[in-house]
Amino acid sequence: MKTPGKLGYCFGVSQAIEKAVAFAEENGPLNSLGPLAHNEDVVAYLREHRVTPITMEEVLSTAVGMNVGITAHGAPPETYDTLKERGCQVLDCTCPIVRKAQAVVSQLMDGFDVVIFGDPDHQEVLGLNGWAGGAKFVGTFNDLFTAGQGYKRLGLGKRVGVISQTTQIPPLFVDFVTTVAHIIERERFQELRVFNTICPIVAARARKTNELAKRVDLMLVVGSLESANTANLATVAKPGAGADNVLIIQNADQVTAALGNWYAEAGFPSREAVETSFRIGITAGTSTPIKTVNEVVAQVKEIFE
């Protein structure tokens, strides 16, 4: 069994959890605008410490003056304005890397058409779009194409600025930027500025996961299906391990069932039929607690011993 080096929380998630728990202990229950981090075990832990996810609609429908936390993914400027108008006490848990991306995109508002690489519906990207004052284009590589018609016409101006969602994968961002450059070349742009706003911890874990996947027979990615980083780690693992040999599991409770399904699909009648030289790699999203990772590792060892 192998892992791609150090796992557990990234700094942004770790800091957000510590700040939220400390705030709730001192000031009473804290309502976070959505999950503080995209992981069910983290949400359960925070609930035990009086930190509960809430929607903006719920904020607007309740009494003024409540305690509200901005998650690690950040929020658009209008969210802060709304909370201020409601008299809320705000705890800003935005990840420092996300905050830097927000600052970059805010500067690009002055004279540039902004393009954001990422999931348009992700909380972080919605926030970045707000700090951009409304980007000209928000999406992933596939969103640059129209089925059966080739490249979309983006309608960008002479000066274009491109940034990325912080939890994306560098190679995919490069492909995206290359394609954007090809599209706007036909639209006769004059200036293209590209800012690599991807978190260095996310990038390093993706690179190491990709390398590890080439050396194992099965890759387990520990994390939530709601986590963009977890999904991206599974994506980078598939070329090395094979698409059918990469499994996303939330925690140790899912290990036995996940492996059982994999045995059947891979043609093994049981665990005992798997060769002793069988190699398993384990990686995890940056919002996955190290305790959860260790429990998965222990469960896998128990099954194969």
Q: Which CATH architecture fits 98-194?
A: 3-Layer(aba) Sandwich (3.40)
Residue 267 has pLDDT above 80, yes or no: no
CATH of domain 11-94: 3.40.50.11270
Q: Give the position of tokens 């075990």.
A: 41
pLDDT computed for residue 146 by the predictor:
73
Helix (H, G, I), strand (E, B) or coil at 263: helix
Cα–chain-centroid distance for residue 133?
A: 22
* Percentage above 90 pLDDT, the chain: 77
- Residues 129-157 have a mean pLDDT of 86
Q: Which residues are catalytic?
A: 124
pLDDT tens across 218-240, in order?
Answer: 999 999 999 989 999 999 999 99
Helix (H, G, I), strand (E, B) or coil at 228: helix
Residue 273 has pLDDT above 60, yes or no: no
* Percentage above 70 pLDDT, the chain: 95
Q: Please tell me the distance from the alpha carbon of residue 15 to that of residue 45, in angstroms, as a whole number.
A: 15
Kindly report the pTM of this predicted structure.
Answer: 0.91
> Among 152, 120, 165, which Cα is nearest to 138's?
120
Lowest mean pLDDT: which of 18-32, 85-99, 134-148? Answer: 134-148
Mean pLDDT of the chain: 92
Q: Which CATH architecture fits 200-304?
A: 3-Layer(aba) Sandwich (3.40)
Which band of pLDDT confidence, cut at 50, 70 and 90, is reported for residue 47? very high
Q: List the domain boundaries for the chain.
A: 11-94, 98-194, 200-304
Topology alike, domains 11-94 and 200-304: no
Task: Write the Ramachandran bin of 134: left for phi over 0, alpha for psi from -120 to 50, otherwise beta.
Answer: left
